[in-house]
């Protein structure tokens, strides 16, 4: 069965997530690990962790995937100037109500805000 071995690589990757407070890209992870873990292995392990729920995939729409450890459901405020990311909790109920009479069965949703943080305004 795939994904069950506690390898050195997996320990390193998991540990790395605790050093970031924001969603991280594959390359950020790669750099953080001093390129001692091959990019391919990072990709494969992140994919695996994603499937098993160990991490959440986030998409900022800039062409690269990002990942973070599962926390309470939240969204993000992203600064388009400096890249700062701030978590934002929103009660989604008000949003979801509108989707109910559309015949769709909603599985997930994505909501992100882009703008300028305090420092960059």
Run of H or E including 39 = helix 39-51
Q: Is 32 in the site for DNA (CB under 7 A)?
A: no
Q: Under a CB-based contact definition with an 8 Å cutoff, are residues 41 and 5 in contact? A: no
Q: Residue 83 region, left (φ>0) first, then alpha (ψ -120 to 50), else beta?
A: left
Q: Residue 117 region, left (φ>0) first, then alpha (ψ -120 to 50), else beta?
A: beta
Which one among 59, 69, 73, 83 touches a copy of itself, defined by CB under 8 A?
59
Pairing between β-strand 24-25 and β-strand 56-59 as defined by DSSP bridges: unpaired
CB of 67 to DNA, least distance (A): 10
Q: Is 47 in the site for a copy of itself (CB under 8 A)?
A: no
Which residue has tokens 């405020």?
A: 77
Q: Is 22 in the site for DNA (CB under 7 A)?
A: no
5 binds, among a copy of itself, DNA, none (CB under 5 to 8 A by kind): DNA
Q: Under a CB-based contact definition with an 8 Å cutoff, are residues 17 and 24 in contact? A: yes
Subset of 76-105 contacting a copy of itself (CB under 8 A): 77, 79-80, 86, 88-90, 94-95, 98-99, 102-105
39 binds, among DNA, a copy of itself, none (CB under 5 to 8 A by kind): DNA
37 binds, among a copy of itself, DNA, none (CB under 5 to 8 A by kind): DNA
- Which residues are near DNA by CB under 7 A? 1-10, 25-27, 36-41, 43-45, 47, 63-65
């Amino acid at each position: 069965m795939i994904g069950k071995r506690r390898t050195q690589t997996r320990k390193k990757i998991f540990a790395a997530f605790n050093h970031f407070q924001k969603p991280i890209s594959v390359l950020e992870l790669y750099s953080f690990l001093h390129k001692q873990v091959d990019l391919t292995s990072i990709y494969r392990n992140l994919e695996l962790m994603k499937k098993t729920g160990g991490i959440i995939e986030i998409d900022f729409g800039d062409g690269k995937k990002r990942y973070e450890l599962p926390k309470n459901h939240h969204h993000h405020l992203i600064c388009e100037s400096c890249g700062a990311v701030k978590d934002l909790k929103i009660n989604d109920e008000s949003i979801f109500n509108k989707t109910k009479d559309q015949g769709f069965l909603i599985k997930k949703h994505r909501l992100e805000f882009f703008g300028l943080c305090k420092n960059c305004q």
